[in-house]
């Protein structure tokens, strides 16, 4: 499967085209809208989220609630567009106030300066409109389609926030819980945290940060349950599924690092305390005593849950701006102030869940004959039976 997205943050709409979905998969806009709403939530979001009520329109590839096997096109309209029709107008405009309101003071940490140099833009709005995390809306819509495929295959995926600005969850609080149980907790939590005992501290810190005109980052974790062993490949670097997942995590705006299982802790432990011992039981097949490697060996799934975390830097748009340089005068100035969120880590956890859902669904589609949903399910079941007895 593959997909492409298009759209500027304050343009008329976001668009995605997905190619390669199996036919006969149930799909409705309602399934996608539920996820779009979750992405808009989470304590720390700014005023834009009160303007937008993201909903998707499926404009091709689906008939009477089921996929046709043809490309699926998704559209999410930007409600804010009505306030930006001049500044973001598609047609050429005269030298009006809008043209004079150019952005020439790049924000440190954003794509502004490097993007301006790359494409030769003197108005940095031409960069920030596309580099904005607004684009993640339509990637969540695409991921929601992938999640629909996963749910048909018995694969469950959930994301949760594990740290905000130094306040960490206690993993023992959700240890042993299934992805579905974690989802239940997260969906009722203000910062999408699976350990509600730290929620208040996190929301207080976000409020305090906002008051100071600052921003904070954090970490999110994605758990995928129900993946069979041997998905992905060890034979070539670009077929390793863990590397694709890592790339997907890094593709989320403001993400700077990824780890699987016990992650960077592996650097501090001997092999005997890292590798997951193998066992076999009648009915269950092969399992591991631990899951320190986060569900991957040799670029392939082990059959244990996939556990992957990503770190998000603090959002670079600050109400208390940092030092920058005006690209016209070359004089030192404070960076531009744009409306922004003080913390988008909870929202980013939803994005992480969806971009990883896409990679996992795509890996299943690549592994099995997947032109139509019933055959895909049958192939997966046969493969699961085979791996148990292998
Ligand atoms: C963003 C800036 C803010 C965020 C936006 C991402 O938008 P605006 O400039 O319109 O206030 O709200 O996020 C979204 C619109 C969204 O849907 O997540 C940025 O600069 O990246």
Tell me, what CATH number does 338's domain have?
Answer: 3.60.150.10
Computed over every residue of the chain, the mean pLDDT equals 96
Cα dist from 268 to 258, 263, 265, whole Å: 17, 10, 6
Q: Residue 97: CB partners within 8 Å, gap ≥ 6?
A: none
| Distance between Cα 382 and ligand 1 center (Å) | 45
Look up the domain containing 251 and give its range: 2-389
Average pLDDT over residues 279-286: 96
Binding residue ranges for FMN? 130-132, 253-254, 298, 313-317, 339
State the number of CA atoms in the 13 A half-sphere of 69 facing the CB: 8
Interface predicted TM-score (ipTM): 0.94
Q: Could you give the angle at the alpha carbon of 78 between the alpha carbons of 77 and 81, nearest 5°?
A: 125
Q: Residue 134: CB partners within 8 Å, gap ≥ 6?
A: 7, 8, 9, 14, 78
Cα dist from 141 to 31, 134, 212, 216, 316, whole Å: 9, 12, 33, 26, 25
Position in ligand 1 atom list of the atom nearest CA 133 = 21
Going by pLDDT thresholds of 50, 70 and 90, the confidence category of residue 98 is low
Contact 142, 354 (CB under 8 A): yes
Residue closest by Cα to atom 20 of ligand 1: 132
Number of domains composing the chain:
1
- Rg of the Cα trace of the chain? 22
Residue closest by Cα to atom 6 of ligand 1: 133
| Distance between Cα 229 and ligand 1 center (Å) | 39
Query: What are 253-268's pLDDT values in tens digits?
Result: 999 999 999 999 999 9
Q: Tell me what pLDDT residue 99 has.
A: 62
Residue 320 has pLDDT above 90, yes or no: no
Average pLDDT over residues 337-361: 93
Q: Tell me what pLDDT residue 93 has.
A: 83
Q: Tell me what pLDDT residue 155 has.
A: 98
Residue closest by Cα to atom 11 of ligand 1: 339
Task: List, chain by chain if needed, residues with CB within 6 Å of any ligand 1 atom.
Answer: 9, 46, 48, 52, 80, 132-134, 137, 317, 338-341
Binding residue ranges for NADP(+)? 39, 45
CA atoms of 348 and 352, how far apart (whole Å): 6
| Distance between Cα 9 and ligand 1 center (Å) | 7
pTM for this prediction = 0.97
Average pLDDT over residues 56-71: 98
Q: What element of type H or E holds 159?
A: strand 156-164
Task: Quote the percentage of the chain above a pLDDT of 90.
Answer: 92
């Amino acid at each position: 499967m593959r997909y492409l997205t298009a759209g500027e943050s304050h343009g008329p709409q976001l668009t995605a085209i997905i190619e390669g979905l199996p036919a006969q998969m149930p799909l409705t806009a309602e399934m996608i809208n539920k996820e779009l709403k979750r992405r808009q939530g989470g304590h720390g979001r700014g005023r834009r989220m009160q303007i937008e009520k993201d909903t998707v329109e499926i404009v091709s590839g689906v008939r009477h609630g089921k996929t046709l096997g043809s490309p699926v096109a998704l559209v999410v309209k930007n409600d804010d567009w009505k306030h930006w029709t001049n500044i973001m107008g598609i047609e050429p405009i005269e030298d009006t106030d809008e043209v004079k309101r150019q952005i020439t003071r790049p924000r440190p940490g954003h794509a502004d300066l490097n993007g301006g140099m790359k494409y030769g833009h003197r108005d940095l709005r031409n960069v920030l409109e596309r580099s904005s995390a607004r684009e993640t809306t339509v990637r969540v819509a695409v991921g929601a389609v992938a999640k629909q495929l996963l749910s048909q295959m018995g694969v469950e995926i959930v994301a949760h926030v594990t740290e905000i600005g130094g306040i960490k969850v206690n993993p023992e609080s959700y240890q042993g819980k299934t992805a579905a149980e974690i989802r239940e907790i997260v969906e009722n939590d203000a910062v999408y945290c699976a350990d509600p005992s730290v929620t208040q501290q996190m929301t207080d810190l976000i409020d305090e940060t906002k008051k100071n005109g600052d921003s904070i980052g954090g970490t999110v974790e994605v758990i995928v349950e129900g993946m069979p062993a041997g998905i992905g490949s060890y034979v070539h670097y670009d077929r390793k599924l863990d590397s694709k997942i890592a790339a997907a995590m890094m593709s989320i705006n403001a993400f700077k690092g990824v780890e699987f299982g016990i992650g960077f802790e592996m650097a501090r432990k001997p092999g005997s305390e890292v590798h997951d011992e193998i066992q076999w039981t009648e009915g269950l097949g092969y399992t591991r005593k631990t899951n320190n490697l986060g569900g991957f060996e040799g670029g392939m799934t082990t059959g244990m849950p996939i556990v992957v975390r990503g770190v998000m830097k603090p959002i670079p748009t600050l109400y208390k701006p940092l030092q920058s340089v005006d690209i016209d005068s070359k004089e030192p100035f404070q960076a531009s102030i744009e409306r922004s969120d003080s913390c988008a880590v909870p929202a980013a956890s939803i994005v992480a869940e969806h971009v990883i859902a896409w990679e996992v669904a795509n890996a299943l589609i690549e592994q099995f004959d997947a032109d139509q949903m019933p055959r895909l399910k049958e192939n997966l079941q046969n493969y699961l039976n085979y791996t148990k007895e292998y």
